[in-house]
Structure 1
Amino acid sequence: MHKFRARLTLIFIVLIGSSVLIAGLFMAQVLRESHIEALKTNMQRELRIILVTMDWNKGGTEAEQLAYYGEQVNRLRQSADARVTFIRSDGKVLGDSDHNPEDMDNHLQRKEIIEAEQTGVVGSDIRYSTTIQRNMLYVVVPVKNGTLTKGYVRLSMSLEEVEASILRVWYVLLFGLLAVFIIAALISFRVAWGITRPIEMITKVARQITNMDYKARVNVKKKDEIGQLGQALNRMADSLQLQMDRIQEDESRLKSVLDNMISGVMMIDRDSKIVLLNRSAEDILGFSVQELLGKKFDEAKQQFEFTQLIQECIDLREHIRDEMIFYYPSERILEINLSPISLNENEWAGVLIVLHDITAVRRLERMRSEFVANVSHELKTPIAAVKGFAETLLAGALNDKETAKSFLQIIFDESERLNRLIGDILELSKIESKRIPLQFSPVSVNTFVSNCVHVMTSEAKKKSIELEMQVEDDLYIEADEDRLRQILINLLSNGINYTPEGGKVKIKVESIFHGAEGMDNERIRMTITDTGIGIPKKDLPRIFERFYRVDKARSRSSGGTGLGLSIVKHLVELHKGSIRVESEVGMGTKFFIELPVIQY
């Protein structure tokens, strides 16, 4: 822009300087010609006066004529203040005020003589005089006697004064031109600045807009074309900023949606490079955006079957859906949807991949299937027993009262078991679907635990099992008392059932996170310990599953349904608590329950 301003200033200076120079040359030439014309007119006037005052019929010898005309030219020289020359018609110089006629050439071929002869009025010429070595103006008039030319009278005057005047004009012109150049330079710079400065501002703003600074604006107040250009650029910037704000808002929404999607989203462009990867896709594939973005999908250290599926979609350009087991970063079952992307009918754009982690769904389906199988099995056993003993009774066993009574007791026990099983199933279904609203109220832990232990005392006495409780004083908890009792009774019943005779079941309740933690984090811990048969280490992760039994024969003989611990776990979670278990075979089992003191 500075170079453009300099060039524009130079152009203005050259234009103005050239105009002034041409005008000066024209003025100097006009002045010179005007001055010379004025001299010619004065010299013609003087020559006519000389013609009138002179006697041109002087006779005599050539010497006498030279003497006479020599005297006359000397006399006229003083009055005319110019060089005077008398020339005979044949070109012989008869008298000259400045030189000896005898030494002078024949003047018949001089330009002014020829012109005077041709016009018959006057002739003139300007040339350099070798005699006096300067530019001279020569004006000649013929001396007539009727139509006969007797000779010529010539006045010549030096142009030194004219040239001095012209030189002074040139000096004035040069100084004036210099002043004009200076003024023109200042004016040109100011004009160029006025033109280029707005253009420079517009260029700067355009560059800022190119660099995505859409808040840049042109501050041009002019109403001319440049001002209109600046306003147009501002309007364009306003439109661009509005569109970019919308694009950024849409991009932010899209990014927020992608980042918060549970499903993984991955995009591969036409060059087979990974160009998009959301947060869920990172978690599912086990690689970060920095590790995958920009790499080709077959170079991204992905499972071979997965890359084959992508290549198949690229080759066929058709939607593909499949399920696949991924082993990294952990074993999961993924549902993979691959959709080809086309900008139009002919232009291929890439592949969009959506990954769904369906491990939990498949596990749930398996659990549901196992649940149905377990329920069927659990229902079938007591029903088969009831049916078998009923058939036996109908076949004639009723006649033996002792046998009939024994069979009817078995039928009754199996019916009770069947009733408990159905009740537990319905209870678990309600708890899992959260259709049981909990009624929270303050509960005195000491009194509550005493009541539960008292309920289980008779059952414990049957096996000579010692029940012990250890509860801190003045402990209160906000809980649903009925559901809390269901939790504790279930765990105590399990402890009694799986503890041999003469064993011990203990419940201990203590507060945790006292003091600096504040009331918001205060919790109580219930620890139910037994000296029973224990649980093998491999079975510990599954004991809270429905119908899962460590020892199926022992569980069935104890009358358990296999749903008790699953119900306990769900009830603890409804109280926003946690439950865990520790056990060793032959050493007994410990259940730890932590519950918040206050429900929020």
Structure 2
Amino acid sequence: MIFSDKKHTIFLILYGIIVFLAVWGIVVSADNASKLPIEIWAAIGAVGASGAMLEILTHLRTRDTLNQMKEQIRRMSQSAEVGLVMVDQQYTVEGMPGILNQYLILLRDKINQLKQERKELNLLISAVDAEKQNTEAIIRNISDAVVVINTFGELSLVNSQAEELFGFKLSENRHRQATEIFANPAIRKFLDITTWKTREPVRLECPIKVPGRETPGIFVVTISPVYINVNELWALTMTLHDVTQERELAQLKNDFVNEVSHELRTPLSSIKAYIELLLDGDMQTPQGRLEFYRIIQTEADRLDRFIANMLNLSRIESGSIAVEFSEIDINDELAQAVDLIRYITEEKSITLTFHPSPDKLL
């Protein structure tokens, strides 16, 4: 067994005392003063000397073995590789290498398990990073302005359309509160993530000043919560869709419908009025009736031309037919319009006078 340095010293002292007594006994026996023969004292001295030598050799061997174990463990710690301790069992504490090796085997298995888990975690992190990059790429390429606000109420992701619309850079405002950046009160009141209560998106329509435009644009703003667990709010996403052109097109459509209705109603009203006059017998002379028929035919032709023009409008836009421009005399057109309503104004005692321009108007 291995003794501590203190016990080792005590045993060496005891063996030294035995050797000393043996030498003393031999000296005394030589003078015939000892009752024990000199051979016995010599044997005692040999035992003491042998014990001291054995103790010294055992201590040296054990110390070398422990140093070997220490050096092997040190190398394992430096290389991050765990192996078994290889020593001479003869000069170690009984069972110590086996116990140590059992612990090292468990430690090696645990390290291998941690390495495997780290490898799997790295793969998962790589997959998450790739997914994050794909998501950011999709958001950056969306034509609408997109803003992502994290759970702390700070800007997390903004695409270039949003940066251009609001006139700021994400790199300069990444840790700023969203409520400090967006000045529009209609939007700002929904961007405080700490007060968000609903799981449904919020949609509103509001004017927003657009760089390069004289008048504010009309935007449909959609603010949606993003939950990662049942009740854990992770982020808010805000998309801003510019509907200014759509609203303008809708207004143009309404104006177009009103204009078409007016253009259809005018000739139809004239046709209806002159037919009613004919049916009521207000025009007795054949010449007058022929004039009414001519007016009705003129208005019918006008209505036919208008409908034909409407049908040709889509063809002109598609380029299937070419537009031909020709010169007309506006005096002739005005004269026809005056003749169209002259009889009606005369019935109501209204004097209608037309003075054509001496110059030809084109």
Following TM superposition, by how much is the alpha carbon of 1:387 offset from its aligned partner in structure 2, in angstroms? Answer: 2.0
Aligned equivalents of 1:177 and 1:37: distance in 2? 24
AA partner of residue 139 (structure 2): L
Cross-structure match for 1:493:
325
Indicate conservation of the 8 Å contact 1:317/1:340, yes or no: no
Question: What does residue range 519-534 of structure 1 map to in structure 2 within 5 Å?
Answer: none
Cα distance change of structure 1 residues 249 and 316 upon mapping to structure 2, 3 Å threshold? closer
Question: What does residue range 162-561 of structure 1 map to in structure 2 within 5 Å?
Answer: 187-188=68-69, 190-199=71-80, 224-300=105-181, 302-310=183-191, 315=195, 317-318=197-198, 320-329=202-211, 330=213, 331-340=216-225, 351-396=236-281, 400-429=285-314, 483=320, 486-487=321-322, 490=323, 492-493=324-325, 496-497=327-328
Q: List per-residue Cα deviations over 1:520-550 (Å, max 9, x = no partner).
A: xxxxxxxxxxxxxxxxxxxxxxxxxxxxxxx
Aligned equivalents of 1:26 and 1:230: distance in 2? 43
Cα distance change of structure 1 residues 261 and 360 upon mapping to structure 2, 3 Å threshold? same
Following TM superposition, by how much is the alpha carbon of 1:324 offset from its aligned partner in structure 2, in angstroms? Answer: 0.7
- SS of the residue aligned with 1:224? helix
TM-score normalised per structure 1? 0.41
- SS of the residue aligned with 1:287? coil
Cα distance change of structure 1 residues 306 and 366 upon mapping to structure 2, 3 Å threshold? same
Following TM superposition, by how much is the alpha carbon of 1:270 offset from its aligned partner in structure 2, in angstroms? Answer: 4.6
Give 1 or 2: higher strand fraction: 1
1:30 aligns with 2:15: yes
Cα distance change of structure 1 residues 499 and 431 upon mapping to structure 2, 3 Å threshold? closer
Cross-structure match for 1:531:
none
Indicate conservation of the 8 Å contact 1:258/1:265, yes or no: yes
Following TM superposition, by how much is the alpha carbon of 1:377 offset from its aligned partner in structure 2, in angstroms? Answer: 0.9
- Regions of 4+ moved over 6 Å: 172-181
Indicate conservation of the 8 Å contact 1:397/1:404, yes or no: no
Aligned equivalents of 2:68 and 2:158: distance in 1? 62
Indicate conservation of the 8 Å contact 2:8/2:55, yes or no: no
Aligned equivalents of 1:314 and 1:38: distance in 2? 95
Following TM superposition, by how much is the alpha carbon of 1:251 offset from its aligned partner in structure 2, in angstroms? Answer: 1.6
Indicate conservation of the 8 Å contact 1:324/1:335, yes or no: yes
Aligned equivalents of 2:65 and 2:112: distance in 1? 31
Q: List per-residue Cα deviations over 1:398-447 (Å, max 9, x = no partner).
A: 75444444433333332233223223323434676x7xxxxxxxxxxxxx
Q: List per-residue Cα deviations over 1:287-338 (Å, max 9, x = no partner).
A: 3323443212332152234324546x86573454321111232421111233
Following TM superposition, by how much is the alpha carbon of 1:372 offset from its aligned partner in structure 2, in angstroms? Answer: 1.4
- SS of the residue aligned with 1:323? strand
AA partner of residue 307 (structure 1): R
- SS of the residue aligned with 1:262? coil
Aligned equivalents of 1:225 and 1:176: distance in 2? 31
TM-score normalised per structure 2? 0.63
The alignment's C-alpha RMSD in Å is: 4.5
Aligned equivalents of 1:407 and 1:291: distance in 2? 78
Structure showing greater Rg: 1
Aligned equivalents of 1:231 and 1:338: distance in 2? 47
Aligned equivalents of 2:329 and 2:17: distance in 1? 141
Contiguous gaps of at least 5 residues in structure 1: 1-14, 47-79, 85-138, 142-154, 156-161, 202-222, 435-479, 501-552, 558-600
Following TM superposition, by how much is the alpha carbon of 1:341 offset from its aligned partner in structure 2, in angstroms? Answer: 5.3
Cross-structure match for 2:345:
none
- SS of the residue aligned with 1:281? helix
Aligned equivalents of 2:111 and 2:287: distance in 1? 113
AA partner of residue 222 (structure 2): N
Cα distance change of structure 1 residues 260 and 253 upon mapping to structure 2, 3 Å threshold? same
Aligned equivalents of 1:197 and 1:300: distance in 2? 52
- SS of the residue aligned with 2:80? helix
Cross-structure match for 2:357:
none
Give 1 or 2: higher helix fraction: 2
Indicate conservation of the 8 Å contact 1:334/1:355, yes or no: yes
Aligned equivalents of 2:292 and 2:164: distance in 1? 60
Cross-structure match for 1:95:
none
Following TM superposition, by how much is the alpha carbon of 1:232 offset from its aligned partner in structure 2, in angstroms? Answer: 1.4
